[in-house]
């Protein structure tokens, strides 16, 4: 959600796992880093921690909620379990309207969205308090010399009315022109696909007709044209007229017509008499792989396989 808000504000953002080594973060040439929230308590066993080298990269850093705790803990401050957990709307007392808090007005109470169980009780050297709430004495902090800020509330939540402005102010502090758009992403994605596939590589795509695989197919089609073949597997478990809708949706949009594998009877036979949902899921998955593999061989194989999926799934799979 944070990455989405940043992109909506005209800046390209990538998500990396919390334990990404500093070298990997540096390789992305970041101009700013946001440490996100999370459900953990900073001192519990196995709590996510940050490679200290990330904070030594010299770029602006914004910690949000748990990201605030990570920042404070790494730099010598103190975080404790709060006496009262806070989830929902809260009122922020703004002491100084500067840094990411510049869009807010000093001396004015601002509505925000909170979701936390811990709280900061002592600031690291060099930090000052910008805002507080009833339960959080350090609800927004800054170290302008090191260009580091932290907020207890969630600016990415729509329930924080000035949240986007807070994120925008941080992006401005990073020096962004905020002129990136999704159209630029399409151009960049097509260029990356074309480079990866090369001048002669062939590509096979499992097309379901859903948003993820459809977007992936059209991006690859734009990149490599007739070297893409798409396979739609009719497993007999589709919604009414879904197969016809997918065929109609892609008619004339691709160099090659979508290959439809009519495997309904095969899937239903594999599920006959099965009542356990997990067993059903595994049989459907295994049968799909078999059918898709057969279709791939029938088409002569391919050098690359396209899988369209959600960004969170990519992150979780890597983790």
Name the residues annotated as catalytic: 65, 154, 156
Residue 13 and residue 7 in contact, taking contact as beta carbons nearer than 8 Å? yes
Q: Rounded to an integer, what distance in angstroms lies between the CA atom of residue 18 and that of residue 145? A: 25
User: Strand runs (DSSP E) across the chain, as ranges?
Assistant: 33-35, 61-64, 78-94, 109-122, 128-132, 140-143, 148-151, 203-206, 228-234, 259-262, 304-306
221: enclosing H helix or E strand: helix 211-224
> Which residues make Cβ contacts (< 8 Å) with residue 151, sequence separation at least 6?
62, 63, 64, 65, 68, 100, 101, 131, 139, 140, 141, 166
- Spatial separation of the C-alpha atoms in residues 245 and 98, rounded to whole Å: 53
> How far from chain centre, in Å, is Cα 99?
25
Q: How far is CA 313 from CA 102, 270, 309, 318, 319, in A?
A: 35, 27, 7, 9, 10
Q: Considering only CA atoms, which of 263, 247, 254, 252 is closest in space to residue 295?
A: 263
Q: Which two tokens stand for residue 74?
A: 């790494």
């Amino acid at each position: 959600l944070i990455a989405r808000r940043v992109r909506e504000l005209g800046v390209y953002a990538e998500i990396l796992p919390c334990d990404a080594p500093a070298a990997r973060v540096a390789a992305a040439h970041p101009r700013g880093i946001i440490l996100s929230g999370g459900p953990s308590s900073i001192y519990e066993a196995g709590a996510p921690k940050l490679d200290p080298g990330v904070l030594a990269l010299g770029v602006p850093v914004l910690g949000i909620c748990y990201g605030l705790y990570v920042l404070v803990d790494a730099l010598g401050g103190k975080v404790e379990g709060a006496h009262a957990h806070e989830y929902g709307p809260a009122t922020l007392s703004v002491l100084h309207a500067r840094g990411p808090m510049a869009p807010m007005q000093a001396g004015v109470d601002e509505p925000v969205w909170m979701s936390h169980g811990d709280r900061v009780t002592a600031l690291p050297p060099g930090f000052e308090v910008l805002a507080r709430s009833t339960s959080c004495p350090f609800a927004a902090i800054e170290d302008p010399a090191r260009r580091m800020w932290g907020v207890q509330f969630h600016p990415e939540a729509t329930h924080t009315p000035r949240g986007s402005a807070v994120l925008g102010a941080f992006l401005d502090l990073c020096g962004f022109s905020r002129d990136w758009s999704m159209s630029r992403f399409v151009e960049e994605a097509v260029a990356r696909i074309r480079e990866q596939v090369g001048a002669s590589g062939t590509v096979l795509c499992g097309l379901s007709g859903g948003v993820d695989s459809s977007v992936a197919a059209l991006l690859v089609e734009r990149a490599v044209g007739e070297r893409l073949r798409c396979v739609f597997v009719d497993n007999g478990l589709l919604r009414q007229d879904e197969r016809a809708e997918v065929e109609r949706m892609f008619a004339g949009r691709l160099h090659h017509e979508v290959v439809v594998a009519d495997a309904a009877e095969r899937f239903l036979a594999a599920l006959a008499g099965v009542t356990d949902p997990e067993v059903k899921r595994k049989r459907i998955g295994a049968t799909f792989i078999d059918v898709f593999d057969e279709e791939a061989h029938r088409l002569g194989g391919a050098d690359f396989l396209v899988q369209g999926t959600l960004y969170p799934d990519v992150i979780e799979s890597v983790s």
